[in-house]
Copies of this chain bind each other. A is one copy, B any other.
């Protein structure tokens, strides 16, 4: 057992260097796998480092090199299978690149996002990935000054901050509405969040309204499911609150699959037949929509791909290649058994 001058102090490269009688610089090179270091020397250093219980200090590296190795990501909520899947896509695609994701959730609030971005920027992230295209002016200012790549995902913003990997939520609804109209459904209702907090939800709502108008359907009725994020429970409660007269509508277009699932099961409890008495559609191709009996008509989104493509953009940008400014990953209408 080697004597330790101060048992509480951390083991540094200097300690390893002393132990192998080399300069810290060589240790640094060896531990990072620099080819110029003699293989034998490298092995000696690595062994000694392990023996001493040396732990590399990424903070010091980040400080010295002014590269944090972080990519900051904001999500509205991590408790959402689709956003979680995007995060996973990012993580997987970035694995091995030496980049670490720094996650923050905004709770669907642009003010919270602003605060979060401010916090995250103090960690010197090498890039910032924001879910959604709506931000406060202050957020835009912060990001403009930050001089790092910014990617907005899950939307196709009118005024992008930088790169974009997303799809049109409004367009995605057009197919759903067309499908419903083709089945003879005319009286549509839209079930979604009330507030303007959920901009993706609002875009879907507007898409439904526009598509219905274009097809000559009567005005779409809005049903309030509460504050974003709207859950299964919210969908069920909204339908339960209305009662059997929900079937006065021909079709209930829901902002997401969980909401649609809640609505579907509330309808069942009311003794209504879906789609006989009322058609129901969702959004996002969540597992619950595919497994549910009946299967819920939905729109498939490419949550994982959004993350993977965002990672591609980052790789390109970091490599100095120019990456596409806007990547539209699209979405696909998925007819189910509820419409």
Contacts and interface: CB of A to CB of B under 8 A. Distances in A.
User: How many residues of A sit at the interface, in one of the four size bands?
Assistant: 35 or more
A105 B95 CA distance: 12
Nearest to A270: B293
Contacts of A56: 122
A66 B85 CA distance: 34
Interface stretch (A17-25, A96-104, A149-157, A211-219): A96-104
A287 B268 contact: no
Interface string A98-139: 001111010000000000000101111000000000000000
Report copies per complex. Answer: 2
Nearest to A123: B58
A329 interface: no
Contacts of A268: 293
Interface string A70-95: 00000000110100110110010000
A66 B10 CA distance: 10
A234 to B, nearest CB: 10
A291 B57 contact: no
Interface of A: 10, 53, 55-60, 62-63, 66, 68, 78-79, 81, 84-85, 87-88, 91, 100-103, 105, 119, 121-124, 145-146, 231-233, 235-236, 258, 261-262, 265-266, 268-269, 287-288, 290-293
19 contacts: A53-B145, A55-B121, A55-B122, A55-B145, A55-B146, A57-B122, A57-B124, A58-B124, A63-B63, A79-B88, A84-B84, A100-B119, A101-B103, A231-B287, A232-B287, A233-B287, A236-B291, A261-B288, A262-B291
